[in-house]
A and B are shown apart, each in its own frame.
Chain A
Amino acid sequence: MNGVLTLVLLLAPDPPADPAEEWRVLFGQYAAAEKGFFAPYYEAKSDEEREKVRLDYERHPAREFVPKAKAFAESAKGTEAALDALLWLVRAAPQTGSTAEVGPAIDAILAGHAGSPKLEEFASYLRYAHSMLGRGAAVNALETLVRKSPHDVVRAAATLSLAATYAEADRATEADRKRARALLDTILEKYGETKYATQAKGLINEIEFLQIGKVAPDFEATDVDGKTFKLSDYRGQVVVLDFWGFW
């Protein structure tokens, strides 16, 4: 009897017995390979040495891992671990050039996991995905999230990404900006307690005031000597404002 049961279990490879564990091992192997790939850079002892390091991104292990992650997501379909694999496929695409995988991965995420609380970061990331996906597909995905997610933060993140996708499009029209503005007002109204409300205010400021032809909003700043100044102190001069940093 026991022998028969064992045999049945052995003959049933799908779904994996413990998908979370299987993904942990699989992803662990990838993470180790990635660490190895960057090792020459991290082992360099000085800026000069680091500058000499040439990494061949054609050989970045993410490329090889794409089909494995894809196969795993399929075999463990519906599980939390499959969601992790799908999210990885979306995030890795710009690096691996596997942009063809992004659309199907997003479809699978929305079809099987739209209620997951893990999708907050994904919703924020979609703000930048329209260049890869096309604006229509990005908008569809974000609207689905707003409709289906039971989590305030996920809906707030998706609404903000949706507004940004409209407002920051290459050829944003007045209608796009209006649509974005309405979405941002929704964030302030419904999700005022989330960090997305702060971001919404920034975007509203940009839509309303940071357009060519409008007077720049004033700000007060402190310079490196600890002296405060205002942008408006510079009226009467042509001003270049350069937001920069090396970090």
Chain B
Amino acid sequence: MNRMRVKGLMRKEVYEIVRDPSSIAIAFVLPLVLLLIFGYGVSLDARSVPVAEVVDQPTYLTTSFLGELDRSPWFHPARYPDQASAEQAMMQGRVQAILWLRSDFSRRALSSGNAAIHLTINGVDANQARIIQNYVNGTWQAWLEQQATLQGQPLEIPVVAEVRIWFNPALTSRYYLIPGLIAIIMTLIGALLTALVVAREWERGTMEGIMVTPVAKTEVLLGKLVPYFVMGMGGMMLSTTMAVFLFHVPLRGSLSVLVGTAALFLLTALGMGLAISVLARSQFVAAMVAIVTTFLPAFILSGFLFDIRSMPAAIQVLTHIVAARYFVSALQTLFLAGDLWPVILPNLLGLGVLCIVFLGLSVLRFRKRLD
């Protein structure tokens, strides 16, 4: 390894970066734009769900129950005269759910009990439907307890479940989505920066120029890696600053562990791009492979949106080759919980293995030969 040669190669790469500013855009504009859109745009917290209310026979009981619903920030209720018109509104997508209190509701509630509150939900978006179900259930239980207190009798419920959520008590989905988004954005940056750099030189014929010089292949690859690593870390710093100061995601872990984890992840992501570039040889194929293998796997298989434990076993195994999986888990813990080494260490280990595989593949398959 000759320091001067590597420095020279790095300088050449920096000139290329400056000449085509799209790399700078990748490192700084991409995270800025994506985090702004996602940070404000992506949320799983349903607010003001349009709900149809149908009351066959209004009494003080129905008024009190529906009043509880009207006060809740989660619902945006609208009255409908009968079930048929409410069903039509749901068909047309004007309401997401229907609450129906039949004419015997108050009579049964005051005598035999078990008066039914009929809740019909549009189940097309199953996740959203379940969230609405939970909201209605929570509102109903709160109302039950309040009624019991008002009447001065204890509520006769055998078991009361008290649920406490650690790390994110209000279940603000932004707190867990933003660390996940950082992982996805960094995956894109890493691969985008390096996916074309080797293939480009092959295609333009400049690789021959490098081959006739005495530089070793590891020096060529190092010269390609370092400038983009510096840029990628800049992008990571920008993302973290935005997460903490703009979106107020708590950062409970230490900055040094965060930086270390991010550096290892970035190296893995750049290594993946480099491997694509070395293997593909043509920019077009490299670009296609980068489009196919980076974003969607990181989005769907990293555990960012979908729980990995619930996936079929074969696919769980497959998620181990998605670098974002380790980074999402480490980031969520670092941001919301702290430096919990039992969680962070296995993730670092996974990243380390992938990093060695990608970089090793790049070195092994990179040939200083024309063939």
A binds B: no
